[in-house]
Structure 1
Amino acid sequence: MFIRTENFRQYIKFYPVVSTLIALNIIAYIITSLPFIGNMVLYLGMSVNWLIAEGEWWRVITSTFLHGDFFHILFNMFSLFLFGPELERIAGKLRFITIYLFSGIFGNVATFIIESPDYASVGASGSIYGIFGAYAALAYYTKNTIPQLNQIIMPIIVIGLIMTFLQPGINISAHIGGLITGFLFGLAYFSPKNILRWRRK
């Protein structure tokens, strides 16, 4: 399920949303790495609680496409590359986009509510954890029909949460907020009633 065997062209063709999101994140990282303008773009887009409180609401969105360093974007994009395609295939393009974007946004909203006014963050981790949350909802609905999904995804989530609390410099609120948001979207999207409705269309 999470083993990628497609070549580059096949991957882009089969998973256009995931491919586009990876490309946007990479482009944003390249721009923020440029001399002179890079730091300015990073500052204008990062999530800063007191600036959001001042009305710069776009930061809860733009910060999900920005990353602090190479290993930060490498880890997040590798996770999206690995776990995104199957969810895009199962949920469909539009539903996948809503899971990804709203998980990142509400992860930042949770950060705004919980953390101090001077708290600042960047990264797609909230969106990545939203994908995990959606898988958790799918595993809940299919625990009797696809038990291997539960056996795969739950250890990933548990390990991810443990690392969230152990590693320094991690936005815990964004991770938890994204996970919960993705799970709630998954509960709505993957309910047996909704799945049946999709198949009838």
Structure 2
Amino acid sequence: MFIRNEKSIKEFIQLYPVTGILVIINLSLWLLINFLQLPIGQSIYQWGVGSNFFIEHGQYWRLVTPIFLHGNLMHVLFNSFALVLFGPALEQMMGKWKFVAAYLGAGIAGNIATYLLGPASIMYTHLGASGSIYGLFGLYLYLIIYRKHLIDPGSKQIVLVFLLIGVMMTFLRPGINVHAHIFGLIGGFVLGTILLSNASPYSPWRNRPHFRHAEENDIGFDPNRWKKKRMDPTTKKRIIWGIVILLFLIAWWNRM
């Protein structure tokens, strides 16, 4: 479920448009605000960053807008990578609009919890898609507990490892919005009871009719299979992605 087989960014966006658009929005806004530092970027930040003080005074859009804003480069890269890793399977299984509802719903749940339980000081601000990312974990946790047939054992282990490390980091690292993480996770799990009720199993070939056609017409017996010395491309991708995931876990654990 988490091994990417797409040959290009264009193909990835064609297969998983919601995930692709969300990543583009995250990176574009970060570049606009932090790298280019244009006046419009600063205005977006000032009007979009999470602030319990301003929400208290009627600026309720700040329960949504912080989901798309990020701080430093590592912040936006980690959240975007997590979205690329965990978003596609859910987008296909749930459908585009249910995936949007789950992603935004979990993020909003985390921001509402931050508003209700966090500091009311005008100096306190928060931003980031972490609540939504933890919402994806909540959806997978629902699959693991109640829809076991929709997630394979290997993917289950990956989710549980990420979730365990993520929860540990939430309470051990300073400067993390604990409320957004925990209630984003809970929000995703609760939304799973509704949005995953008719989910279909993930298949990397479902949206690729030309691949499906080739797979259906593939010869089952290869008389030259024993002569092949080179590693199968799929195996290579699995090894590479396994290394990437491992490095991501190590870096995620050690990030500020």
TM-score, L = length of structure 1: 0.90
List alignment gaps of at least 5 residues for structure 1.
197-201
**Contact 2:18–2:100 (8 Å) recurs in 1:** yes
Tell me which residue corresponds to 2:231: none
- Report deviation, 1:152: 2.8
- What letter corresponds to residue 88 of structure 1 in structure 2? E
% of aligned pairs identical? 44
Q: Secondary structure at the match of 2:64?
A: helix
Tell me which residue corresponds to 2:30: 29
The correspondence for 2:146, drawn from 141, 155, 160, is 141
**Structure whose CA Rg is larger:** 2
- Report deviation, 1:157: 1.0
2:23 pairs with 1:17: no
* Pairs within 5 Å for 1:73-84: 73-84=76-87
Cα deviation code 1:87-117 (max 9, x no counterpart): 1011111110001011111110000000110
Tell me which residue corresponds to 1:199: none
Count of aligned pairs between the two proteins: 194
**Contact 2:52–2:115 (8 Å) recurs in 1:** yes
Deviates more, 1:31-40 or 1:2-11: 31-40
List alignment gaps of at least 5 residues for structure 2.
201-256
Q: Secondary structure at the match of 1:3?
A: coil
* Structure 1 residue ranges (4+ consecutive) displaced by more than 6 angstroms after TM superposition: none
Whole-Å Cα distance in 2 between the matches of residues 27 and 67 of structure 1? 11
Relative to structure 1, the CA distance from residue 86 to residue 144 in structure 2 (aligned partners, 3 Å threshold; closer, same or farther) is closer
* Pairs within 5 Å for 1:59-138: 59-118=62-121, 119-138=124-143
RMSD: 1.7
Tell me which residue corresponds to 2:190: 184
- Report deviation, 1:36: 5.1
Cα deviation code 1:46-78 (max 9, x no counterpart): 000010000011111111100011111000000
2:51 pairs with 1:48: yes
- What letter corresponds to residue 187 of structure 1 in structure 2? T
Whole-Å Cα distance in 2 between the matches of residues 96 and 108 of structure 1? 18
- Report deviation, 1:26: 1.2
Tell me which residue corresponds to 2:167: 161
Whole-Å Cα distance in 2 between the matches of residues 2 and 55 of structure 1? 40
- What letter corresponds to residue 49 of structure 1 in structure 2? N
Relative to structure 1, the CA distance from residue 147 to residue 83 in structure 2 (aligned partners, 3 Å threshold; closer, same or farther) is closer
Whole-Å Cα distance in 2 between the matches of residues 187 and 160 of structure 1? 22
Deviates more, 1:72-81 or 1:137-146: 137-146
Q: Secondary structure at the match of 2:71?
A: coil
Cα deviation code 1:129-178 (max 9, x no counterpart): 11110011111123367451433322221111001111111101001111
**Contact 2:32–2:38 (8 Å) recurs in 1:** no
Deviates more, 1:154-163 or 1:46-55: 154-163
- What letter corresponds to residue 65 of structure 1 in structure 2? F
